[in-house]
Each structure stands twice: as structure tokens, then as C-alpha cells.
Structure 1
């Protein structure tokens, strides 16, 4: 299945007002969980619905999960209905961080078989292009045609553990290099990365304007990354099916999945627990010795 990825501001502008269009504003700030709602109220793309990543694109963190576990399937199904999403919806998601958070919504929606794209450049690009903004909050009719939610692209912790013996997966860590190297860790109790993982900071997918790099440039960079240690042929779907992405809490990992699909690499899988779950595992191991 070919997965849709990006949409330009001009393309989205031409679609506004369409009957099946659903626009989701996914702006999110990890150090200020209320800021996303505030900036949405100040201005947003006409018709956009505010989505709270922390509570609507994630379940409740426990001692056994990462920071942003997936919501229960039945709860996310209800959430989709509340946004007016049905199987015919044409969904566009955006943020103001180059797609870092919108990509999580995209990944969750795409695996339901829905048509969803990320606004390239997000809200900043929309403003730079002098497109219309509003403070009006849309009235959303509850969808009567509910989506039956499942998460076939989710990788669990036990699969990562068993991978040390099976070597089934190639792990790609989307965090910045200093966190990957264990040089800077202000979020989790243990620094470092899962042994054997490659590092592809999600921000490397973007140019200085936080717009995605050209497909040619992205494809070349992924080819270098995967050939360096694993000799993966990015044109071979059976070869790239082993790729599993992770990050701090299963959010920005989705950005690398998006970027790979943008250049025709069939990426899907995310270890959602990511380093925030793995670090808890490491702490328990240290405490037991």
C-alpha cells in the first residue's frame, strides 16, 4: 500500500471548505502542555480542530510504558468520531515544528487505512505564504461511521528484547545525536540508546525553514545511513521491512517513517515505548542487581 505523506500550503488552501476535508492542528510543547491550546485559540488554519497530543494521541503513562503510549483502540475510535472522521475523510495534520508532532497523528491515522497528509512546513509556512487564519472554532458533527481502530504498525518492548537474539529488526533512533550518545539526557533516568541502533535525528529531514528536504537529498541520506552498517537495499521492500523506528516517547520517530515513505521507502514500524520505556527497564535491571 502506498502511504500518502505531504501536502503543500497551496494544495491545502485549494481544498479548504471541502465536505470531506478534516484539518487537525497538532501543535504541542513538551515543556508547556497547555501552550498548544493557547496558540490554537490565538490563530489557526480555517476549519482546523485542535488535537492534544498528550491526551488524545496518547494514553496514560504507567510504570510499564513510555511517556506517550498509544490510546486504547476503542478510545481512539471514539476520538476519531468526535473529530468527524469517517472512511471518506481527507485529513491534513500540521504543527509548527516541521511536522515533529503532526507525524505522530499521521502515523496513527495512516495505519487505519485513512487518507492523511502532513502539511509541509506546517503553520509557519502557512503564515509565510500569507494564507488565511482564523480564531473561529469549527462546529464538528460526530461521525456516525466509526473507524475500527487497530495498531498493526506498533512494535512492543518484548519484540525489541527478542531482537537481540533474532536480529529481525534494524532500529533507527530519531533523537538528537547528543541524547543518542548519552551526552545529554534531561528527560529520562538513564542516558544512551538501545544497543545496535542507528541514529537519524528527525530534524535532519528538514531544511532551515523546517520544510522537508528534496526527495533526492533525503533518499541519498537514508541510503548512506542504511548501507553504512547493514547494507540495506532501499529499493527492496523485503529488506526495508525490518526497519523499526524509535525516539524518546514514540512521537518524533514517526517523522522518520514519514520521510522514508516520502522517498518511496516502505517504512511503517515504530517502537512506541521508545527510550522512555527502555530507560525504565534499565533502571529496574540495575535495581535488581
Structure 2
């Protein structure tokens, strides 16, 4: 199953009139202006997706900063973006797909198999000299029927035991993993046994995913192979989805810990490790 579509592929679909739902998921930690950026310019026909309100429930210390919404709530959102059963969906952002991957993962989990990340995102579209437009896009309401359970997940108890028989990857920046800084969560450090695997290591200098062979080598160095169970977490389950996409491109499957570190560190009974060593 393909994970990515390139700019040429998306442009060809649009030029030939093939039905394609394009979704703009611009969001970044500390930048609440994703919709404003979208309104200024976006890929023609792209519909804006608001990550904090449409791809997450309200923050909850028990569930994390970006808890997954219910299936009915997510289905309502997907229909508001114009998605119908059988549609090809392409998601993008302007940060190497680090936020768009959240939508990719959620649609995959909901049973949509024809959903892709635009490799390189808006940056690649601009670099190709392709047109942009401003203002909102208001699509006709779609009729997609979503399910749940299409992607592997684990919870805090599973994450606590994961490293004993598998590989638990921490997709946050290395300094957050080591506990040197923590901009948003109440405790700094990482889940015991987790291996540092920053999401930025999945991308080249242009914000495109590394080739599959390079990603396989990267993850192999971190202990991932086809027979070892792998799980991923980040701060709140957003960039961990990007790591799962990178693992898929490399030929590996992995489970997501949706609550991630924001859920873990709010539970006083959960131990947190600082420093570069995974701990135990």
C-alpha cells in the first residue's frame, strides 16, 4: 500500500479531473495561525483541516494533549471536508508532513485505504512552480462511512512493558527525550526503555521523506526489524504518526501510543527517565 504521492502525481490527477480530496493540515506547536496561513495561500481546491479541533478532543491530563476524537465526531469532520466513500485523499502541510501525518493515520485507522501524504508538502508544490490560491474552500458535504481499528495502537500499560519484548521509539526532538527542555508537558524526560528517534531524521533537507532503503537503515540502527514489535510515541500523538508513516515506507509496521508522553507524564505513578540512555 502506497503512503506517498509526489507533486507530479497530484498535479496529474488534478489536471485530468480525477476526483481527489486535497486537505491542508497546517499546524505547528506554538503556532495557532494555521488557518490564517491557509487563507493566504494553499493548493487550489484544498480544504483546511483544523488539527486541534477536528483531529483531537480537548486536552485532558488523563488522555493527553491531543486525544483522538470519537469515531462519529471524526466521521462528521471527514464529511465536512467533502470525503465520499472510495475517494482518493491527499493530505499535506508546510512542515514535512509532521502534522498532516496525523490525518493520514486517522483516516487509515478509520478504514480509508486510498489516503496519501503529499511528499514535500506545500514546499514541494511551490518549488515546482505550480499555482496557489487564497481564501476558503467550502466543499459539498461528503458521505464517507468511517470505522475504527484499522491501525495498531497501544496504551500506557502497553508502553510501560513494550521495551521488554520490542522497540519503543520516541519521535520527539532529542533534547526533549533527554529531558534538557520541556516546553509544554509537566515533566521532562522519556518513557523508560524508549529509544530516541526524532521525526526530523525521517526527512531530507527539502522536507521529503528519505528513500525507503535509507529509512530501513535508519530504523535498523534503532533496533527495528520485521520480527520485532515496534511502537511509537511523541508528545501528544501527532509526530508519532509521521514516524509510523516513515516506518511503513521502510517496510515496517508499528503501533501508536495515542496519549504519548503528555498522557504518561501526567500520571504520577509513571516513572520518567532523563538523559540519553533508554533506561529500564
- Return closer, same or farther for 1:157/1:221 CA change in 2, 3 Å cut-off: same
| Distance (whole Å) between structure 1 residues aligned to residue 216 and residue 159 of structure 2 | 26
**2:53 aligned residue:** 55
- Per the TM alignment, residue 110 of structure 1 is displaced from its structure 2 partner at its CA by 1.2
| Distance (whole Å) between structure 1 residues aligned to residue 148 and residue 192 of structure 2 | 32
SS of equivalent to 1:91: strand
Matches within 5 A, 1:68-107: 68-107=66-105
- Per the TM alignment, residue 152 of structure 1 is displaced from its structure 2 partner at its CA by 4.6
Whether 1:278 and 2:264 are equivalent positions in the alignment is: yes
**1:263 aligned residue:** 250
**1:229 aligned residue:** none
- Return closer, same or farther for 1:113/1:284 CA change in 2, 3 Å cut-off: closer
**1:216 aligned residue:** 213
| Distance (whole Å) between structure 1 residues aligned to residue 187 and residue 138 of structure 2 | 45
Residue range with higher mean Cα deviation, 201-210 or 82-91: 82-91
1:21-67 CA distances to partner (integer Å, 9 max, x unpaired)? 1110000122132x110011001001100001111011111231211
User: Is contact 2:54-2:74 (8 Å) kept?
Assistant: yes
| Distance (whole Å) between structure 2 residues aligned to residue 108 and residue 282 of structure 1 | 29
**1:201 aligned residue:** 198
- Per the TM alignment, residue 274 of structure 1 is displaced from its structure 2 partner at its CA by 0.7
Q: List alignment gaps of at least 5 residues for structure 2.
A: 273-280
SS of equivalent to 1:211: coil
TM-score normalised to the size of structure 1? 0.87
User: Is contact 2:108-2:151 (8 Å) kept?
Assistant: no
User: Could you say what the CA RMSD is over the residues aligned between the two structures, in angstroms?
Assistant: 2.0
Number of residues of Structure 1 aligned to a counterpart in Structure 2: 270
Q: List alignment gaps of at least 5 residues for structure 1.
A: 227-231
User: Is contact 1:25-1:49 (8 Å) kept?
Assistant: yes
Residue range with higher mean Cα deviation, 276-285 or 49-58: 276-285
**1:174 aligned residue:** 171
- Return closer, same or farther for 1:54/1:260 CA change in 2, 3 Å cut-off: same
- Per the TM alignment, residue 151 of structure 1 is displaced from its structure 2 partner at its CA by 6.1
User: Is contact 2:264-2:270 (8 Å) kept?
Assistant: no
- Per the TM alignment, residue 160 of structure 1 is displaced from its structure 2 partner at its CA by 2.5
Residue range with higher mean Cα deviation, 81-90 or 136-145: 136-145
